[in-house]
């Protein structure tokens, strides 16, 4: 192949992420051409309803996968946190890499820490994962549903619809918006979504483009993200589930994984951590302990 077409959503963040993969491909292969194929997804069009009410985060990828199936694109670039833990038949994820800081951040102009948010403050977020963990610490907070791209959410904050919004640090970084006043939320306070901050490159199984993607692979990032995704898979969780996961490598090469499952209101939160050699081993250990603590009841399984 001497050309690669990248399917991407049209949102500013998605385009920046696709441009990053384009840049990496051009650096890895001389004489290759790389083109962006911009696609509007159903998830981008319907902003007045929660994602779980209209089909979940899979709405962000179905049209991109269709472009791959129809031969209009060769690869698709995603935020890994938007990908279901099981891809549709015929697709694979040969690259999980380029992970930025996976933490959530609180963007606000009214305080300097989460603890200092005014009593009863309105916080913009539709994420049950964020709501369960943060409202568990601050039951007085009112969570306001906000959907849309990063700019849309910041616009709601600037319009005074809420006193703070919760976003992923990686999105602010990639959009060069770190000039905003933001407060990083520690993983002890709010565990991120599985795969948050990492990029995934999807293609058809068996595609010849896989060989061209090999220089972009990052085994360290991939192992950590797979640990998180395996845990979510075992929990049978999805974007509507109050579930967080975060993994990282220790100096001896082992993987440390922490997972959290909560009730929607945050009045119940269970948390477990483990260290093991492989993604599957560490996810199995955390899953077993979460189950012993009642995760299946919390998730309605």
Q: Give the pLDDT confidence of 145-191 residue by residue, as tens digits.
A: 998 899 999 999 999 999 999 999 999 999 999 988 999 999 999 99
Q: How many other C-beta atoms are found inside a 10 Å radius of the C-beta of residue 170?
A: 25
Q: What is the pLDDT of residue 57?
A: 54
Beta 3-9 vs 75-79: how paired, if at all?
parallel
Backbone phi and psi for residue 243, each to the nearest 5 degrees, phi listed first: -130, 135
Mean pLDDT of 15-32: 97
Query: In this structure, what is the dihedral angle of CA atoms 296, 298, 300, 301, given to the nearest 10 degrees?
Result: 0
Q: Give the pLDDT confidence of 229-284 residue by residue, as tens digits.
A: 999 999 999 877 999 999 999 999 999 999 999 987 788 999 999 999 999 999 99
Q: Give the pLDDT confidence of 73-131 residue by residue, as tens digits.
A: 999 999 999 999 999 999 999 999 999 999 999 999 999 999 999 999 999 999 999 99
Q: How many other C-beta atoms are found inside a 10 Å radius of the C-beta of residue 183?
A: 18
Q: What is the pLDDT of residue 99?
A: 98
Mean pLDDT of 3-20: 97
Residues 6+ apart with CB under 8 A from 133: 189, 190, 191, 242, 244, 260, 262, 266, 269
Q: What is the pLDDT of residue 279?
A: 98
Active site residues: 82
Q: What is the pLDDT of residue 42?
A: 65
Q: What is the pLDDT of residue 147?
A: 80
The pLDDT of residue 58 is above 70: no
Q: What is the pLDDT of residue 239?
A: 74
Average pLDDT of every residue of the chain: 93
Q: How many other C-beta atoms are found inside a 10 Å radius of the C-beta of residue 65?
A: 21
Q: What is the pLDDT of residue 185?
A: 98
Q: What is the pLDDT of residue 247?
A: 98
Q: Is the dihedral of CA 266, 272, 277, 281 positive or negative?
A: negative
Q: What is the pLDDT of residue 238?
A: 83
Domains and CATH numbers, the chain: 3-98+198-217 (3.40.190.10), 104-184 (3.40.190.10), 228-298 (3.30.160.40)
At 146, list the tokens. Answer: 């906000």
- Please say whether the beta carbons of 66 and 202 come within 8 A: no
How far apart are the C-alpha atoms of 186 and 105, rounded to whole Å? Answer: 9
Q: What is the pLDDT of residue 264?
A: 79
Let me know the angle formed at the C-alpha of 262 by 258 and 266, rounded to the nearest 5 degrees: 125
Q: Give the pLDDT confidence of 34-49 residue by residue, as tens digits.
A: 999 999 876 555 544 5
How far apart are the C-alpha atoms of 114 and 37, rounded to whole Å? Answer: 40
Of 243, 247, 200, the closest CA to residue 225 belongs to 247
Q: What is the pLDDT of residue 43?
A: 57
At 93, list the tokens. Answer: 């994820």
Mind giving me the DSSP string for 242-291?
-EEEEEEE-TTS-EEEEEEEE-TTSS-EEEEEEEESSHHHHHHHHHHHHH
Q: What band does 1 get if pLDDT is binned at 50, 70 and 90?
A: confident
């Amino acid at each position: 192949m001497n050309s690669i077409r990248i399917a991407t959503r049209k949102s500013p963040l998605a385009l920046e992420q696709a441009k990053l993969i384009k840049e990496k491909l051009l650096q890895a292969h001389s004489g290759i051409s790389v083109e962006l194929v911009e696609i509007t997804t159903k998830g981008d069009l319907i902003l007045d309803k929660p994602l779980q009410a209209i089909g979940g985060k899979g709405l962000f990828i179905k049209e991109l996968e269709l472009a791959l199936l129809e031969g209009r694109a060769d690869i698709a670039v995603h935020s890994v946190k938007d990908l279901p833990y099981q891809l549709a038949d015929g697709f694979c994820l040969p690259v999980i890499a380029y992970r930025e800081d996976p933490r959530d951040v609180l963007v606000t102009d009214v305080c300097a820490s989460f603890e200092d948010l005014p009593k009863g403050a309105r916080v913009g977020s539709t994420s049950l994962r964020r709501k369960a963990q943060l409202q568990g610490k601050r039951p007085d907070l009112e969570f306001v549903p906000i959907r849309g791209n990063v700019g849309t959410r910041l616009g709601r904050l600037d319009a005074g619809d809420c006193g703070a919004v919760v976003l992923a640090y990686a999105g602010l970084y990639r959009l060069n918006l770190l000039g905003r006043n933001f407060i990083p939320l520690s993983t002890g306070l709010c565990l991120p979504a599985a795969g948050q901050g990492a990029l995934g490159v999807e293609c058809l199984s068996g595609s010849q483009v896989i060989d061209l993607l090999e220089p972009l692979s990052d085994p360290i990032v991939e192992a950590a993200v797979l640990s998180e995704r395996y845990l979510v898979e075992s929990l049978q969780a999805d974007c509507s589930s109050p579930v967080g996961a975060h993994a990282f490598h220790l100096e001896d090469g082992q993987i440390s994984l922490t997972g959290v499952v909560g009730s929607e209101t945050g009045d119940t939160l269970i948390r477990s951590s483990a260290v093991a050699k492989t993604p599957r081993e560490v996810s199995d250990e955390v899953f077993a302990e979460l189950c012993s603590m009642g995760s299946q009841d919390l998730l309605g399984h």
